Amino acid sequence: MSRLCKPSMSVPEHVITVEETLEFAEKAHAGKPQLPLALRLIRNTGVKKRHMVQPIEQTLRHPGFEERNRIYERESKRRCPQVIEQALANAEVTARDIDALIYVSCTGFMMPSLTAWLINTMGLRSDTRQIPIAQLGCAAGGAAINRAHDFTLAHPGSNVLIVACELCSLCYQPSDDDIGSLLSDGLFGDAVAAAVVRGIGGTGIELERNASYLIPDTEEWISYAVKDSGFHFQLDRRVPGTMEPLAPVLRELAKDHSWEVGKLDFYLIHAGGPRILDDLAKFLEVDREVFRHSWATLSSYGNIASAVVLEAARRLFEEDPPVAGATGVIAGFGPGITAEMALGTWAVDRPRSVA
């Protein structure tokens, strides 16, 4: 059975606190009628700090789409390898053991995908399958886990490396001052995460079932407007209410697996914002504390897009690994509105016998 092994994660060295975010927002958008509401929403996100690939002064300047994308390529190549090395070590595999590479990112564009550069640079085999995922946004972390599960089922014994590189600060647009843009400016952070899904062995989450769901007629609720200046993030005010229709989907997924969604042992949920987590807890009829790893990720790093579920999983491994047989759910939400969900059981690798 496929097992999600312990992820690794890294954030850039440049830090901005919520107090600094509010100060910069007040200066940059002074006099705008929507500013007081935006500041209140940012205060209520629960985000204490975020990390960025550039100092805030550089982030606030827009050098143009071409330069932004050049920075994305440079920083992704600079930051991914060390995170990948740690993920491989966590899974007790080598680069040569990897059969497929899934790279997820929605904050920059490269063709060929960074997968080609990683294969050439990191010592992966030339026949490694490349699976770049660029347009699922925050849901892509869950999608990557699910596609890795699917791959290992189709190719028994194979190993899949997942890499999530989200440099959200490179999408900041100084001229965008609607409520959704201002809230996003105070919510999203930068991070790189990686994990291995092993087809055989390993300690971690044994993936048992996965599913995708698209809420009908919501494709414009989270989107990019692609302009000369780059990606302009668009967030509809109805997005925070999407947990009401998605909670029954999670409940049904668990029921089809003979589990009860409100009585699982661990929950690794995309931390899109505080209302997402609070509403999901309410509709699943669970204590909000069961999402503690998601809350901690949101507080420490902000919404790090597709990397959230991997970082929440890393915290599970490090802070309170479950007992063998414990049941749990992984769920990522993003543009579409799309939900990518997986059920799994905690499994511990058996020690090798000594002859």
Q: How many CA atoms lie within 13 A of 137 on its CB side?
A: 23
Catalytic residues: 138
Q: 338-349 in b/e burial notation, b at 16+ Cβ within 10 A?
A: bbbbbbbbbbee
Helix intervals (H) in the chain: 18-28, 35-43, 56-60, 65-91, 114-122, 140-154, 179-185, 243-256, 274-284, 292-301, 308-319
Pairing of strands 159-167, 100-104: parallel
CB 98 within 8 A of CB 160: yes
Helices (H), 208-291: 243-256, 274-284
Residue 208 buriedness (CB in 10 A; 0-12 / 13-18 / 19+): middle
Phi and psi torsions of 16, nearest 5°? -130, 130
Which two structure tokens, joined as six digits, stand for 325? 């047989």
